[in-house]
Structure formats: structure tokens, C-alpha cells
Amino acid sequence: MLLVPEGALVLNSVAAVALELVDGTRCLDRIVEDVVDRFDVSTERALEDVRALFERLTARGFVQC
């Protein structure tokens, strides 16, 4: 669960892992690689999902790029 001002986002397990991998140095491709290593998912699908996740999180200011 990601706690934010006056709210909470319940993340699925892939989203939670992807967000934990954000450390200010890893690029999107690296994060996707790690996600593919840990979950039974194609690179194509993981890239699409992770990108969509970060688009939503950056739009709300929870992740900065």
C-alpha cells in the first residue's frame, strides 16, 4: 500500500516491486528487466504495464522523473 496525503493506493504485487526498484539511478528498462526476472511476464507486457504505472504515479506527483 502506498500512503499519500489523505489517501492510499493499493498496489498489486508487480506494481509494488516496480515502485520499490525506483532508487533514483535505475532507468525504466532496468526496472522492467528486474520485473521480468521476478514474474512470469513477457518483456513487452511488463514494459507496457510498468510505463503505464509510472505515468499514473508521476501525474499525481508520487514519482518524479
Partner 1 sequence: MLCELTYRCNLQCPYCYNPLALREYRDELSTAQWSVALRDAAALGIVQAHFSGGEPTLRHDLPELVETAARAGLYTNLITQGTFLDDTMLDELIGRGLDHVQISIQAPWAETADRIAGTAVHEKKLEALRRVRERDVALTLNCVLHRQNHDTLGELIALAERFAITRLELANVQFYGWAYRNRAALMPTLEQVRRAEAIVEAARERLRGTMEIVYVLPDYFGEFPKPCMNGWGNQFLTVTPNGDVLPCPAAGAIRDLRFENLRRAPLREIWQRSEAFERYRGTAWMPEPCRSCDRREVDWGGCRCQAFLLTGDAGVTDPACSLSPHHAVVTALREAPSPAQPIPRRG
Residues in contact with partner 1 by the rule CB under 8 A: 1, 3-6, 8, 58-61
Which residues touch 37 (CB under 8 Å, ≥6 apart)? Answer: none
Nearer to partner 1, 8 or 40 (CB): 8
Collapsing DSSP to helix, strand or coil, 12 comes out as: coil
Taking the least distance from each CB to partner 1, the nearer of 8 and 37 is 8
Give min distance, CB of 5 to partner 1, in A: 5
CB 61 to partner 1: min, Å: 5
**Residue 47 backbone class (left: φ over 0; alpha: ψ -120 to 50; beta: rest):** alpha
